[in-house]
Amino acid sequence: MSTTALPSRTTICRGLRKVVLAANLAAGLATTAPSEEPSFFGQGGDSQERLVNRRAARLALVEKPAAPPTVEGTVFNDLDRFIVARWQEMKLPPGAAEPVLCDDSTFLRRVYLDVIGVSPTLAEARRFLDDTQPGKRARLVDELLARSTDYAAHWTPFWLDALASNVAPTFGGVVSRGDHLPWVHASFAQNKPYDVFVAELLDPTMPGFKKPGHVDILGVRYKVSFLRDAEHNEVLQTAADVGQVFLGTGMKCASCHNHFENDEWPQKRFLSFAGLFNGKDLEKIRCEKRSGIFVPAASPFEQPGVPTTPPSDVNGRLHIAALLLTDPANPRFAKTFVNRLWKRLLGLGLFEPADDFRLDTPASHPALLDWLAYDFMKHGYDVQWTMRLILNSRTYQLRHDAAVEDQPDALHPRAAARFFRSPTQRRLAAEQLLDSIAVVTRQKLEDRQRLYRTHEGVPDPLNHALGRPDIRSEVSTARAGEVAVVQALELLNGARYNALLNPDVLLATLGQTPEPGQIVELLYLAALQRKPTEHEFDLGRTFLRDSTADGKVPLREAVTDMLWAIVTSPAFQYVN
């Protein structure tokens, strides 16, 4: 007689459940599974405790990613192994030496701009460049991540755009989504776990829930919130925004018909997801024609142990929505964020576009994406943990090389190959550029003076030209990186831009009669954190001497012109 054990009834049922779920998902129904996993809701006191306590149990349901591959060549951490393995798999570049690291000056400027959003002061630059002890790059990463106020200041503009935050409750008679600035800044200053951050935005039962505001217009009370649910179309827009920002998935096209470009999103599947943000199931309305068919609310993904029937009240559904969204078993939540982080630090994502994560287009490095997302969840959705991992990688610290830089393809973004043999040049955001100019000229910058805290909601030609919106009418997770004539005009002739270029503090450090060569070296170190090349030195010294000869131009005016040339050059306007 065979001694092989028969599968248990539970095993058989779970197998059947997966088959049924897969069939329903393919049909766009995405029904939920019976509640077999008590870990779905977590255990503990309040909603935040339960959210945190459930992580390990839910992560145990996720298949562990492949281990980092064994490779030949230089690596700094496991992340590099995936990148080098891809080079070796594709035999890129055949017979050539491996890409080289950037120098200390480049790394210094790059990591300051990427972690705290501004360039270093003279004192900070000299301290790092004069340090001869090993491990100084890793120490600098830790120091910058520990500057909580500055670190949060750099993340805040991204999330103000992503949440369509506005200081005023209305603009042009339209109700806004509210002011998220204080909450976002405080969250990143605390290094709040990412799943908690997102749950606080969505779940009214969370202790730190970002409560909506209200405004009265002509006697009618309106909710001012990221979550809109006053009528059918607002609920659809809310679901589409949540999908875009937190799942990196474009769903909106499926709100009134099956998605034309992505078979993954039939209308029923989107409506089932959108129903989680409303107090009742949503009717299938195709191109404004009502059907009388209501789609049950459910997760659009196969996630084990979710409730069979969603609550009938909006707060209960939002609680379920937050749990489903931040669930380690959600196949897109963690991957979307680590991809955004990767793109923020290296210029291009592991999948592109970053707001169009889809099954028919694999990531450039699928194993790396899986590994990064799992590692992020395993370490409690700690944003700084994953940032530190990327910043300390050899991949991040490579020298920019235009010959091997991955080139985005605007017409075919999903088809463009990406190998990350060089970081991609990134144009500074308005906040980075103007705050860094302030650091260069003043050699200090207090948080209250940073651009993200000023000019909110006030039309400003310079901000607008540099891509910073005056009013955020819709969510956005990226600003345009292209240059345009309007930017050039503002940098050439804009009164506010030119008023920022005050060299008095820098000149004061050189005494009463500074020599032109000293000024040139000081300007380059202050602005670009490096010494001028021999050619730059000769050009700068000659310019200052010729301009000020016989008193034709005051020294301060000549230095201002030279400072303008440096900070308006691509070397300053881009993260290299």
Answer with the one of 292, 326, 360 that is the final residue of a domain. 326
The answer for residues whose C-beta is within 8 angstroms of residue 484's C-beta and 6 or more apart is 465
Answer with the one of 423, 438, 464 that is the final residue of a domain. 423
Look at residue 396 and tell me whether its pLDDT is greater than 70. Answer: yes
Look at residue 35 and tell me whether its pLDDT is greater than 60. Answer: no
- 3-state SS, residue 437: helix
Q: Which domain holds residue 350?
A: 78-146+335-423
Look at residue 402 and tell me whether its pLDDT is greater than 60. Answer: yes
Task: Indicate if 266 and 212 belong to the same structural domain.
Answer: yes
328-356 as b/e, with b when 16 or more CB fall inside 10 Å? Answer: bbbbbbbbbbbbbbbbbbbbbbbbbbbbb
Task: Determine the average pLDDT of the residues in 37-56.
Answer: 88
Answer with the one of 368, 391, 423 that is the final residue of a domain. 423
Q: Compute how many other C-beta atoms are within 10 angstroms of the C-beta atom of residue 31.
A: 17
Task: Indicate if 275 and 226 belong to the same structural domain.
Answer: yes
Supply the DSSP string of 513-548, one letter for each residue. S--HHHHHHHHHHHHHSSPPPHHHHHHHHHHHHHHH
Residue-wise pLDDT for 453-479, tens only, equals: 987 778 899 999 999 998 999 999 999
Task: Indicate if 356 and 283 belong to the same structural domain.
Answer: no
- Counting the structural domains of the chain, the total is 3
Query: Do the domain assignments include residue 293?
Result: yes
The two structure tokens encoding residue 240: 């589409």
Task: Indicate if 542 and 464 belong to the same structural domain.
Answer: yes
- pLDDT at residue number 5: 38
Task: Indicate if 165 and 138 belong to the same structural domain.
Answer: no
Query: Do the domain assignments include residue 117?
Result: yes
Task: Indicate if 558 and 460 belong to the same structural domain.
Answer: yes
Task: Indicate if 189 and 297 belong to the same structural domain.
Answer: yes
Task: Indicate if 161 and 134 belong to the same structural domain.
Answer: no
Task: Determine the average pLDDT of the residues in 405-416.
Answer: 79
Task: Determine the average pLDDT of the residues in 156-178.
Answer: 93
Query: Do the domain assignments include residue 4?
Result: no
> For residue 34, what pLDDT band results from cuts at 50, 70 and 90?
very low
Look at residue 101 and tell me whether its pLDDT is greater than 80. Answer: yes
- pLDDT at residue number 12: 33
Task: Indicate if 389 and 286 belong to the same structural domain.
Answer: no
Question: With contact defined as beta carbons under 8 Å apart, do 186 and 197 qualify?
Answer: no
Task: Indicate if 182 and 291 belong to the same structural domain.
Answer: yes
Query: Do the domain assignments include residue 459?
Result: yes
Provide the mean pLDDT of the chain. Answer: 90
Residue-wise pLDDT for 279-330, tens only, equals: 999 999 988 889 999 999 999 999 999 988 889 899 999 999 999 999 999 9
According to DSSP, residue 101 is labeled B
- pLDDT at residue number 95: 65
Look at residue 427 and tell me whether its pLDDT is greater than 90. Answer: yes
Task: Indicate if 213 and 195 belong to the same structural domain.
Answer: yes
Nearest CA to 555 out of 543, 564, 565 is that of 543
Task: Indicate if 442 and 413 belong to the same structural domain.
Answer: no
> For residue 24, what pLDDT band results from cuts at 50, 70 and 90?
very low
